[in-house]
Amino acid sequence: MPGCDLKLALRNMRGAVRQNFMLAPMTHLRVGGPVDWFIEPFADEDAALAVRVCRENSVPLRVLGGGSNVLISDDGVRGAVLHLGSFNRMVRDGQRISAGSGVTLSSLIRSTKSLGLAGMEKLCGIPGHVGGIVAMNAGTREGETFDTLVSLSVLDAEGNLQVLGKSAFRSQYRDGGLLDRIVLQATWELSEDDPDAIFARFAESLKRRNASQPVSQRSVGCVFRNPPGEVAGRLIEQAGCKTLQVGGIEVSGMHANYFINSGAGTCREFLALLEEVRKRVQSKFGVYLEPEVKLWGF
């Protein structure tokens, strides 16, 4: 990998290849250093070429969606990051809707609402792109991404394009079971309903969410996974960690499983706070909290 010039190696790819690209602005938390190579393919075959070239040159490759569930090291990430922002098409076919990986969940929900297709509104308020919500099987108390999903177009680790039904994936809590596959497009089968009724459910969920989560602040969403039969936020709160602070990162006073970046926070501070919270919860409850956020560059 050292010395591999991806700009040269991908000169036949449509799209963009950038060197030493700062990742912090691409994330919700606004933390993290640069990646060696940032690749934005134009279409399926360009993404496939990028995967093959990275593989042939032993360049580690990661995929970034909306950056709402990743924590990037202050020292950055070695290798390449693939970003599928150009995969932004949505197509309706009866009760099915297909969306490219780069479509934001909020615009997908807006479209299904106005088309009178129900089912996606239970995910309302989750930031992220289609690729990210599928990879994470993002969800709320009302349901998960995989509930109504029917198929995915993916690239495998060799860069082969496959269209796979839902049963090819072992999705579970906050994990779509993709293994090392890259999502290019997802298709959901929804049910017809009155747009006003969908909108009313959507507005109700959003209201509940805005009242209980610091959605407008810089965070990665829930830092820790809920341990079996428990709620991580409750354990953190009862261990007395609300508003605990390391540098520019603070445990939210509104929802204890959210860490907020005041603006000047770093990844090191985030990790120091994560360890402190984990230590306090373990010593009070004997429960070891596992991070839900994906750590990049460590």
Ligand X SMILES: Cc1cc2nc3c(=O)[nH]c(=O)nc-3n(C[C@H](O)[C@H](O)[C@H](O)COP(=O)(O)OP(=O)(O)OC[C@H]3O[C@@H](n4cnc5c(N)ncnc54)[C@H](O)[C@@H]3O)c2cc1C
- Site residues for ligand X per CB under 6 A: 28, 62-70, 84, 101, 126-129, 131-133, 135-136, 138-140, 174, 178, 182-183, 215, 219-221, 294
CB nearer to ligand X: pick between 45 and 194? 45
Which is nearer to ligand X, 161 or 279 (by Cβ)?
Answer: 161
Q: How far is the CB of 283 from ligand X (least distance, A)?
A: 27
Separation of first and last alpha carbons in the chain: 18
CB of 81 to ligand X, least distance (A): 9
Euclidean distance between CA atoms 146 and 189, whole angstroms: 11
Triad 243, 246, 248: Cα angle to 5°? 90
Least distance (Å) between residue 141 CB and ligand X: 9
User: ∠ CA 34-84-151 to the nearest 5 degrees?
Assistant: 135
Q: Within 10 A of 33 (CB to CB), how many other CB atoms are there?
A: 18
CB 213 within 8 Å of CB 222: no
Helix (H, G, I), strand (E, B) or coil at 38: strand
Q: Which of 54, 59, 76, 132 is nearest to 296 (CA)?
A: 76
Residue whose C-beta lies closest to ligand X: 132
Q: How far is the CB of 28 from ligand X (least distance, A)?
A: 4
Report in angstroms how near the CB of residue 63 gets to ligand X at its nearest: 4
Nearer to ligand X, 41 or 128 (CB): 128
Q: Residue 27 or residue 266: which is nearer to ligand X going by CB?
A: 27
Q: Which is nearer to ligand X, 152 or 192 (CB)?
A: 152
Question: Whose structure tokens read 């970046």?
Answer: 261
Smallest distance, Å, CB 179 to ligand X?
10
SS3 state of residue 185:
strand
* Cα dihedral 289, 231, 221, 255 sign: negative
In the complex, minimum distance from the CB of residue 96 to ligand X, in angstroms, rounded to a whole number = 19
Nearer to ligand X, 59 or 183 (CB): 183
Nearer to ligand X, 117 or 182 (CB): 182
Task: Please tell me the distance from the alpha carbon of residue 133 to that of residue 147, in angstroms, as a whole number.
Answer: 12
Q: Pick the closer one to ligand X by CB: 261 or 266.
A: 261
Torsion of CA 82, 71, 238, 228, to 10 degrees: 40
> What is the closest distance, in whole angstroms, from the C-beta atom of residue 284 to ligand X in the complex?
25
Nearest by Cα to 164 from 147, 142, 149, 144: 149
| Residues near 279 by beta carbon (within 8 Å), at least 6 away in sequence | none
- Alpha-carbon distance of 110 to 261, in angstroms, equals 28
